[in-house]
Amino acid sequence: MTRSMDEEEQDMDVASSEEEEVEDEEEAAPGCLTCFSSVAAVGHVLLAEESRDLSTLLSVFLDEDSDDEKGPWGGSRPGRSGNIKRDFEGTYRRLVSFYFSGRDSLYTEAQFRRRFRVSSAIFQRVYDNLHGKGVFYAQRVEKGRAFILWSE
């Protein structure tokens, strides 16, 4: 324990270097805490409870911090945007009715050629060749749920 205390002293010296002088441990501890005002409450509890065992205090503090940063397996994290539930199936059906329903398509071949820059024959050929090859042109299963990304 004494060894870890020594280490803590060094850490504190770095942390409280803005304050002019640190004379002994007893004064240093609250000085350090005011620096990290966010954990002041926790610090008080711990201080009142027992001792100035700063190693315990700081380990709690550090652990909590790293918990906020990232979970053990990554995964969803606060502050990042979640997945939006998009209407893949509906869009797919709409798309098929627009361009890929043969003669029943809403838009003509000329419009297809204009919008896709290639004829539907070439599009079909490219599609057949690329289908199932890359990550984004295949169905995939994520986290146990069937997650289908339409490749059209």
* Residues at the contact surface with another protein, assessed by CB under 8 A: 84, 86-88, 90-91, 95, 99, 115-119, 121-123, 125-127, 129-130, 133-137, 149, 151-152
CB of 141 to another protein, least distance (A): 16
Give, in order, the Cα–Cα distances in Å from 68 to each of 61, 71, 81.
Answer: 11, 8, 16
Comparing CB distances to another protein, the nearer of 44 and 94 is 94
Strands 140-142 vs 145-147: parallel, antiparallel or unpaired = antiparallel
Comparing CB distances to another protein, the nearer of 3 and 80 is 80
CB of 46 to another protein, least distance (A): 43
CB of 16 to another protein, least distance (A): 38
- SS3 helix, strand, coil % of the chain, rounded to 5? 60, 5, 35
d(CA 101, CA 99): 6
